[in-house]
Amino acid sequence: MANPSHLDFPTAADVDAAAARLEGVAIRTPLLTSPALDALTGGRVFLKAETLQRTGSFKFRGAYNKLASIPPERRPGGVVAFSSGNHAQGVAHAATLLGMPAAIVMPYDAPRAKRERTVAFGGEVILYDREREDREAIARDLATARGATLVPPYDDRWIIAGQGTVGREIVDDLAAFGLTPDVVVVTASGGGLTAGIALAVKARASEVQLYTAEPENFDDHARSFRSGRREANAALSGTICDALMARTPGELTFAINRELVGKGVTASDQEVGRAVAFAFHELKLVVEPGGAVALAALLAGRIDLRGRIAVAVLSGGNVDAELFGRLVN
């Protein structure tokens, strides 16, 4: 299927350029292993710990890459973003590092910790009702009024390229051990992380199988892969995975992912909770529910990993202490 000509597609070369731009700024997060996880899955599993990234999630990578691309003459107007939390923090922090003002449109029901940390990173938070208001329209109007640059959470060439540095590191760091992944599983909301990782991974190891991992009943990618068109979730809320509630895959991200990924798995909230607890007890990591869905899918046996080398991305660790306490206990 031909890709729409009006879309500005990133390339693997864009990911390489983003890696150079992020050198010394973003953290090169580790690949972690767990004998218990290997025993449970029958494979050799590595976990890409983006929980240890600046701002606590992979989102900093794309945000910094996007903001650093803004010409100097446009930077005084600042940036406007819309996000439930992790993109908000990434944009706020990147803007502060680059000396730019940032306003973030966030839902009222976003976790308090994410709202507070967005402010702590230097962002101005503007709240909206996700059930009744259109966050993109609010952000566009605000950007126009302020002469600011709009920074979308996933459907953007620069954002996708920045997120793709996760995949570049996965393949390069495994190669240092003489290994090539057979399977890479990525948590998906709008699909930007998946698209970036797919571009980077397929350029280096074309036979790798990639999967999206989504919460049960929020599996718009999995359903879209099956139908061949962008499907929408019926619900706007109703999962502990607050970071993964985009209504439908992005137009740009889906055009990439249907060609390079094409398969999706899901995990229930109960399975996600067990994965959060597993990461804490076995790896001593704090992983938010939305960041643990790929791990949850592997623990639940959604993909046959017997005798295979697999990587699951732990995409974020920004979770309210009360919820985290309930899940790990």
Tens of pLDDT, residue by residue over 189-237, are 999 999 999 999 999 999 999 999 999 999 999 999 999 999 999 988 8
Closest residue by Cα to residue 49 from 217, 209, 283, 227: 283
Residue with more model confidence, 317 or 113: 317
What digits encode the pLDDT tens for the residues 253-295?
999 999 999 999 999 999 999 999 999 999 999 999 999 999 9
pLDDT score, position 109: 86
What percentage of the chain has pLDDT greater than the value 90? 91
Residue 179, pLDDT > 90, answer yes
The CATH number for 12-58+159-328, chosen from 3.40.640.10, 3.40.228.10, 3.40.50.300, 3.40.50.1100, is 3.40.50.1100
Residue 7, pLDDT > 70, answer yes
Please calculate the CA angle 324-26-165 and round it to the nearest 5 degrees: 95
Q: Tell me the C-alpha distance between 236 and 249, whole Å.
A: 14
Mean pLDDT lowest among 67-71, 89-93, 133-137: 133-137
Contact in structure between 113 and 120 (CB atoms under 8 Å): no
Confidence of residue 153 (pLDDT cuts 50, 70, 90): very high
98: number of Cβ within 10 Å? 15
Q: Where do the domains of the chain lie? A: 12-58+159-328, 60-156
**What is the fold of 60-156?**
Rossmann fold (3.40.50)
What percentage of the chain has pLDDT greater than the value 70? 98
Report how far apart, in Å, the C-alpha atoms of 225 and of each of 88, 228, 229, 237, 258 are: 28, 5, 7, 22, 6
**pTM for the complete prediction?**
0.95
pLDDT score, position 1: 42
